[in-house]
Structure 1
Amino acid sequence: MDTARDPLLGLLISEADEIFASMAGALDAVRARPRDDAAVARLIQCAHTLRGLAAISGHAAIADLAGRLEGALDRQRRQATAASGEALGLIDGSLRALRQLVALAAEGRGDVPPAIAELAGAFDRAAAAPEERRPTVLVVDDSRTVLRFVERTLAEAGLRVVTARTTAAAAEVISSERPALVLLDLSLDDLDGAALLGRLAGDGALESTRVVLFSSRPDDELLLLARRLGAAGVLPKTRASGELAARVRAYLDAPRRGSSAP
């Protein structure tokens, strides 16, 4: 790339790394705390800045995607809703796509890969889909890798997903969102998952929310713990993505009384 011949493109590329780094940090903050308004505001500002730089440098695909991301984040902020797993996945996918588009622009290429072009449709569907009509699943785990895998898997299955990495964040989401199902890891940084389950039982939250133990412990041990703690059932972390989604659906669809999905 000859930035001397195209100074506006040079400006876009020189600013992009800092913008993307800021967006990645803000996204991690929202993953840890889905109602982090400051982090959402930072994502909006970064998308807005990137859209402006792309527009003045004549890179329509970058401007369009950054604008769609800005709009979706602004709707979330105005509606005062926690970021769902689907929303987080869309933000993450958009960030990767924007990086790729900027890299292509730096090579003097203006083509848009099909997978990136399809993101426009994903934003349209997310804007049209009434979030409140879809079952909400809260995933509580202190591993970012596990959260991202489960978010993507369940969102692709049509579920609304929110996440929490601590029991404090989980309690906040349960209070505000009243999820239909909670996948609860037993080993968390700030408090044992079993203690959180006991607190939920004491608060009466389990009357409207099923809690499923989500762990890598042996199945027999998990089943005993589930019976002792009053959980709706168990779901080993070793399940493949297709089976994971099917098992979660089974728990959501099971009758409330005496439910124990296979």
Structure 2
Amino acid sequence: MIAAKGVGKVYLVGAGPGDPGLLTVKAKVLLECADVVVYDALVSPEIINLISPHAEQINAGKRRGRHSLPQEETTQLLIEQAQTHAVIVRLKGGDPFVFGRGGEEMEDLIAAGVPVEVVPGITSGIAAPAYAGIPLTHRNYSSSVTFVTGHEAAGKYRPQVNWSAIAQGSETTVIYMGVHNLGYIIEQFIAAGRSPETPIALIRWGTRPDQEQLIGTLETIVEQVEATGFEAPAIVTIGEVVNLHSVLAIK
């Protein structure tokens, strides 16, 4: 990559899961003073509306099967913008360092000599279950939680997630991008000894006004997805804490 010669600084900003009220104060200030904002597909329209009208807005969003920009081109774009602008915001849904490729982008920016800073955001794996009335830990049901991706990159550092170890390793499991591989993941959980009656929740567009939940068990959820047409993107939560949805969800 070509080293940047300008004085611009890139901020890797977490936009949170969707509710603009969950955006950090620092993130809001940066959106109001940015010269350029490069944003992802999962950033909610309400947060996009907080961007300064004077800022250039660039959609670099990635969705399964529909990539606006390849990852390498996105990073190169940030390097180029830093040569001509002072404040560049790379706006990512959730938190940049939680399955957001923020670490990869930060590495490349540093290698190119571009000043960069990360601004953490609330990750959807915590917020979406919370808005559905599902606490990830509870003294009566769960003292441990695992966060894992259900959609892994090709050519990554190891061939696949050890789903057997994940299934046995904690009482609550939160899976990002898990809908497309849900059938396989559930097979692995049951094969590892988790009961088919284990509760599971799929939460789409977490914390937004149009948030949707699909509640079932490991045994029933795939059939429910097929029957309802439930689609990604969604957070998958597995464990006894899911049963608290019927008690704690805001009606």
TM-score (norm 2): 0.30
Higher relative contact order (CA 8 A, sep 6+): 2
- Using the size of structure 1 for normalisation, the TM-score is 0.29
Structure with more of its chain in strand, by fraction: 2
Find the structure with the greater CA-based Rg.
Answer: 1
